[in-house]
């Protein structure tokens, strides 16, 4: 698939408490993010920035975008490599450094735990993380490292014993797909 793809949404600030932005503590950071045909996403700033901790914040959404993009790219890579994935859970973490009135993400580490159908698929399942990193539109768009600490196990349904393998054990360059 090639070509240009366009995306549109509307972000509406809903935090006016009656006095607008008359003072730093006088308004809520609440917003609604709308995409046609999808549920409204209630968002805010992160709690340290006077946001509502019960709502998604931009930092959460960036991390979620990287995690989901890698997952979807990974599933495609596994199909291409003949790997049958039966489970995928990622516990992603990101580090942001604040400086003055701004800041930036310094790195994101994705920690996918993948289960495959057969022990013969483990090596290709690990290698598919590199493919996924190369194919992920979001990871290709950020200016900080996106690293991977992948674990691959064999599902019990195959009758084979569980096998764990991580990016660290197989060489970070081969399985981590770290951006640089």
Q: DSSP secondary structure string, 3-17?
A: S------EEEE--B-
Lookup: tokens for 13: 């600030």
Domain that holds residue 132: 58-175
Assess whether 102 and 41 both reside in one domain. no
Sheet holding 112-116, edge to edge: 85-90, 112-116, 151-154
Assess whether 32 and 120 both reside in one domain. no
DSSP 108: E
**Local confidence pLDDT in tens for the 180 residues of the chain:** 679 999 999 999 999 999 999 999 999 999 999 999 999 999 999 998 999 999 999 999 999 999 999 999 999 999 999 999 999 999 999 999 999 888 999 999 999 999 999 999 999 999 999 999 999 999 999 999 999 999 999 996 444 444 443 443 333 333 334 333
Q: Determine which helix (DSSP H) or strand (DSSP E) holds 107, and give its type and residue range.
A: strand 102-110
The residues, ordered by sequence, that sit 6+ positions from 163 with a Cβ below 8 Å of its Cβ are 119, 122, 152, 153, 154
Assess whether 139 and 86 both reside in one domain. yes
Find out whether 82 and 127 touch, Cβ atoms under 8 Å: no
- Domains: count for the chain: 2
Domain assignment present for residue 143? The answer is yes
- Strands 93-99 and 102-110, bridge-based pairing: antiparallel
pTM value is 0.82
CA angle 154, 178, 101 (to 5 degrees): 125
Assess whether 77 and 108 both reside in one domain. yes
| Paired residues of 103 in beta bridges | 98
| Paired residues of 88 in beta bridges | 114
pLDDT at 1: 63
Assess whether 87 and 143 both reside in one domain. yes
- Strands 93-99 and 146-148, bridge-based pairing: unpaired
Find out whether 111 and 91 touch, Cβ atoms under 8 Å: yes
DSSP 165: -
């Amino acid at each position: 698939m090639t070509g240009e793809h366009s995306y549109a949404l509307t972000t509406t600030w809903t935090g006016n408490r009656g006095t607008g932005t008359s003072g730093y503590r006088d308004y809520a950071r609440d917003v609604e993010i709308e995409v046609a045909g999808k549920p409204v996403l209630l968002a805010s700033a992160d709690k340290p920035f006077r946001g509502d901790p019960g709502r998604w914040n931009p930092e959460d959404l960036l991390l979620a975008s990287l995690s989901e993009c890698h997952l979807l790219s990974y599933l495609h890579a596994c199909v291409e490599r003949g790997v049958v994935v039966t489970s995928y859970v990622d516990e992603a973490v990101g580090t942001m450094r604040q400086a003055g009135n701004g800041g930036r993400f310094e790195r994101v580490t994705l920690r996918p735990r993948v289960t495959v159908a057969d022990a013969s698929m483990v090596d290709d399942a690990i290698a598919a993380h590199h493919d996924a990193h190369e194919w992920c539109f979001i990871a290709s768009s950020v200016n900080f490292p996106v690293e991977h600490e992948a674990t691959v196990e064999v599902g019990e349904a195959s009758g084979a014993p569980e096998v764990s393998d991580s990016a660290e054990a197989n060489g970070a360059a081969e399985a981590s797909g770290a951006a640089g």
